[in-house]
A and B are shown apart, each in its own frame.
Chain A
Amino acid sequence: MMGLILLVGIFQSWNVALSIFNLCLISAVMTMGANVQWGYAGLINFGLMGYAALGGLAAVLISVDPVQEAWRAGGFDILMCLWLIIVMIMAIRFILKNFEKSKYRTYGIAAIIIAGIIIIRVTAEPGIEAIEAINPAKTGFLGGFGLPIMFSWIIGAFFAGGLAFVVGKVALGLRADYLAIATLLISEIVIAIIKHEDWLSRGVKNVIGLDRPVPYEVNLQTTDWFINLVAKFNSSKLELISNMADRQTALNQLVIEGSSVFVKLCYSGLFLTVVIALLIVTQKALYSPWGRMMRAIRDNEEAANAMGKNVVKQHLLIFILGSAIVGIAGAMLVTQDGLFTPGSYRPMRYTFLIWVMVIVGGSGNNFGAILGGFAVWFLWIEAAPIALFLINLFTSGMPDTHALKVHLIESVPYFRYLMMGLGLLLIMRYRPKGILPEKIEIK
């Protein structure tokens, strides 16, 4: 797999190769999250996109500087709402605890929720309008805490874990395919909220220019040590140019290219650390008594229950852990891109594609998950060039203006779906356990 990425580096450019590599690493983290849920415990979670989006939201809320004006204008109303929501939840909990289950209790809870929503809307409306009115082209939202963006990787995990706790409480009792649908739909609700609550994260207006944990290209290009480094690396090439002015322009060109490669390498280092750390932890967990218990629960719930294992609790725990890993990946993605676009969290890209990675790589095997993340993402990116090559090969007899050929070349981007689908179907049919199947060693 690394060899393929190196090939891209040699033939296309190192920039492209590194950006594929970075996204491969992020996909691998997401896949590991899904694999913890599906491979270890047999829980199916189609809501990955929602957790990834929450991770991204965490990145925004952590790294952006607070917008003081907005806080002054509407901060009080929003805090008021938050307080109201907490009161509402406490009231519902109180009723659930202290009253017998009856029709009146159900109606009472429904009444509290409806009244609560109306009160919250009334309190929030002026605050939201005030916040969104402040410099809508640039801010128009509350901003964040102004901390380094790396913190968001942890906070994103907590956000996603929190959502997973709620979803797990609601949906984990359902049968597998219902769980899939329920998690998918709940994630859609979460994304709808992130998309349309502009005061929180500007919604579909996107947040751009997030802080970076690595240096900026522009700064690098004027730093002495970096220029010297580039000169050192390319000294043989530069010495061939005799003219001093030409050598300077060549060096400048190299520095510009080198700076973006260097930035991507920094990201790769950070992401690689996360992947390796997660790999060690998940591998340890897989072979620990806890991992054995999870497999027991997965393979025979009743028997595990009879042995005194709390199936419901363990399911909830692993659901939270897996989702938290996806949340980290979501935060990493936004960190790398430097922008948060809620509109881009589509089920196709952030749920089904990740699932293809899990199935293709091999469920229950962490190395399989990483391999799946790498292989599938690589294909997803390189599918268009491959398809273009194949089309040109098969239609080489036709003239360039032939309608069929033109049509096919226009629809090249969609061949990636075809490849993913066929790949998934073939793997499911002929290698149902994935490329690297689950191996259980008894030590």
Chain B
Amino acid sequence: MDFINAIILLLNYIFVPALTYGSQLALGAIFVTLIYGILRFANFATGDMMAFGTMVTILFTWYFQSLGISLGVLPTALIAIPFAIIFMIGYMLFIDKFVFRYYRVNKSPPVQLAMVSIGVMFVTQAVVRIIIGPSDRRFFDGEKFIIKAGEFKEMTGLNEGLAIKSSQVITIFVTLILVSILFWFLNKTKTGKSMRAYSDNEDLALLSGIDPKKVVMITWIIAGILATIGGALYGLDKSFKPFTYFNNMLPIFAAAIVGGIGNPFGAFLGGYVIAFSEIFITYAYKKFFMYILPESMEPETLVQLLSTDYKFAVSFSILVIVLLYRPNGIFKGKVL
């Protein structure tokens, strides 16, 4: 019985939250990696683009709520997301046309494009804060929990409860569906293959008749979809605050590089690697050991490798280690 309790404890405090957080990071990391692989620059505006998408989602959610439309047990934001995506794609294409295209046509070095993306970051950040303000907002409605800790305890008669929030389940499901569609698109369709070819060798791709404009446009469209959904899921699960989104850019970058930048599958797994290691290393295992060890050996301290203050630092340290030992990432991406 104690053993099952210990497992449930880990499920509740480590596995479910890490899986959710990892899914959110994974979407962002695929976004970074796609931009890097096809447009060839590190996009420092990632976090703020996600904040922009989330902001549009929130605005639509409020609009639908004022009209009285709702999905019942599911959050209203799910209807808002498709509209937000359309808006976001427009925004992405607008930025590309007026900002990034010039440098791409002139074949500027990637560093210059990265600098330009910092300009975009400043502007997007300003727009988001001017429109919706910098404060913390929750826009989750509908049924909050699928299983509550108390109900679970009653059902199974265990000491430890397992709480699963519906936002967590939605996050994991949506991520899995979206990522499967994306990989199917990249690997099976002609457009997807042409994108991969373009990313692999631009000159060769151009010679074989691939239209670069179309490839770039589709990349931004996919990026818009990923940014909106990734951002909205994070906002549903936790809350929407522009500053947090800006900060999330850092673990997202870490996930993309750890997975091997330019490699979408690597980025997908990189998100989970970062999320799990962050939570594994900063979790206090005292209770876990209390269950599995006999009473005489119970630990007195918290049995915590690092305090939770260092959550972000953990993921960055992993990045540094990966850069030192496998600069191409765990799943070989582009050569650095």
Contacts and interface: CB of A to CB of B under 8 A. Distances in A.
Contacts of B250: 184-185, 188
B42 A181 contact: yes
B122 A421 contact: yes
Contact of B123 (A173, A176, A421): A421
Contacts of B325: 106
Contacts of B254: 185
A196 B115 contact: no
Given A180-B114, A192-B309, A425 B125 contact: no
Contact of B42 (A106, A177, A356, A425): A177
A182 B133 CA distance: 31
Interface in A155-177: 170-171, 173-177
A229 interface: no
Contact of A425 (B99, B133, B312): B99
B122 A417 contact: yes
A181 B118 contact: no
Contacts of A226: none
Contact of B121 (A192, A352, A422, A428): A352
A180 B112 CA distance: 12
A178 B115 contact: no
A186 interface: yes
Q: Chain B: interface secondary structure?
A: helix
B258 to A, nearest CB: 11
Nearest to A46: B44
B183 interface: no
Given A181-B253, A185-B250, A425-B116, A192 B111 contact: no
Contacts of A418: 122-123, 126-127, 130
A299 to B, nearest CB: 12
Contacts of A408: 130
Interface stretch (B18-26, B213-221, B283-291, B313-321): B313-321
Contacts of A417: 122-123, 125-126, 129
Contacts of B123: 417-418, 421-422, 425
B224 interface: no
A355 interface: yes
A402 interface: no
Contact of A178 (B126, B130, B305, B323): B323
A421 B323 contact: no
A177 B116 CA distance: 12
B324 A425 contact: no
A190 to B, nearest CB: 9
Interface in B94-121: 99, 102, 109-112, 114-116, 118-121
Contacts of B317: 189
Nearest to B316: A185
Q: Chain A: interface secondary structure?
A: helix
A359 B323 CA distance: 28
Contact of B126 (A184, A186, A189, A415): A415
B259 to A, nearest CB: 14
A181 B83 CA distance: 33
A177 B110 contact: yes
A198 to B, nearest CB: 10
Nearest to A353: B122
B313 A189 contact: yes
Nearest to B317: A189
B282 to A, nearest CB: 12
Given A178-B323, A189-B313, A348-B246, A414 B134 contact: yes
A188 B125 CA distance: 20
A196 B310 contact: yes
A195 to B, nearest CB: 7
A425 B134 contact: no
> Which of B112, B122, B324 has most chain A Cβ within 10 Å?
B122
Nearest to B114: A177
> Which of B316, B319, B320, B327 has most chain A Cβ within 10 Å?
B316
A176 B246 contact: no
Contacts of A234: none
Given A185-B250, A186-B316, A177 B111 contact: yes
A380 B24 CA distance: 33
15 contacts: A170-B323, A173-B327, A177-B114, A178-B42, A182-B320, A192-B309, A196-B309, A352-B121, A352-B122, A417-B123, A417-B125, A418-B127, A421-B121, A421-B124, A424-B115
